[in-house]
Structure 1
């Protein structure tokens, strides 16, 4: 049976940005796209505005699955949600950096919104790529240091990399992630 794989959605266990998770996920559901929410630890995660989400597994287990080759058949896009928890839990997470690099090497869609494009910069994949990020933030300085080309657009697509600058762009970010996902090969 030929089937589409899932979008791997990464959130911080505390203080992810609610809209940046909920609006893209609504787009995925409208389009029949499967997704899996993961975090640095399995279990319930809490958003900045009070929403809750359940992380089905943690990044360590996801990385082990991907390293084993089983993840190649399961996931075909990666989306990283922002929010004030991203710097603490996601920016310097080596497991997430390796996952990002593996998706990028395979030219699979990699998306990050708000403060989370800093994860992509810290993973070393943004040199000379056009991206956007939440303005006036430490994330902006990290992207500049990584030699990314900073755009003032709300949502930017550069090859397989999709970035958005914050909650106001969450709906369009979700649509772009869905479009990129739907273009990936089926298995």
Structure 2
């Protein structure tokens, strides 16, 4: 099993990527990092990662889950990315794990997959508005799992978010 991690090309939140990557490595789960374009992506706190794929390069049949990383770049680069939205829909419709943290749950709301689902998001007015518009049942919990969808509200929840993702992936393949 392999998962794909989506990051903005700039201003992704470093620990929201670092914690899931560490947890995936520890669990022995392979992953690819993708962005709007392949190449170096820059974190808000100075970190860097390499996206080996663009969203266009992803064949979702080859992955057991999608993890979307937040940060301020998420709103600018990922919220309106049609390819990423379509990937989220595909992963959801095929009962694969779909996870998003911080501002990234808005991608799921825009994909229409949070309608009637419990979810959380970083408490920014625009993000909350988008989640409500997508008919998500918002909670204030740091990490929320509803079926195969996992959302988290920001950097402080990154470690628990990573643990919830690993659990969901492990449950799927037991």
Match of 1:93 among 59, 81, 89: 81
> Normalising by the residue count of structure 2, what TM-score does the alignment of the two structures yield?
0.97
Q: Deviations over 1:133-168 (max 9, x none)?
A: 001331111001111100010000000110000000
Matched, 1:7 2:3: yes
Distance (Å, rounded) in 2 between the aligned partners of 1:9 and 1:89: 15
Match of 1:134 among 122, 136, 139: 122
Q: For residues 56-71 of structure 1, what are the structure 2 equivalents within 5 Å?
A: 56-62=52-58, 65-66=59-60
Matched, 1:39 2:35: yes
Q: Deviations over 1:93-127 (max 9, x none)?
A: 10001100000001111000000000001111111
User: SS of the counterpart of 2:135?
Assistant: coil
Counting matched residue pairs gives 174
Distance (Å, rounded) in 1 between the aligned partners of 2:125 and 2:28: 35
User: SS of the counterpart of 2:37?
Assistant: coil
Aligned-pair CA distance for 1:30? 1.0
Matched residue, 1:25: 21
CA RMSD of aligned residues (A): 1.0
Unpaired runs of 5+ in structure 2? none
Aligned-pair CA distance for 1:24? 1.1
Distance (Å, rounded) in 1 between the aligned partners of 2:90 and 2:100: 15
Unpaired runs of 5+ in structure 1? 67-71
> Normalising by the residue count of structure 1, what TM-score does the alignment of the two structures yield?
0.90
Moved over 6 A (4+): none
Query: Is the CA contact 1:7–1:181 (under 8 Å) kept in the aligned structure 2?
Result: no
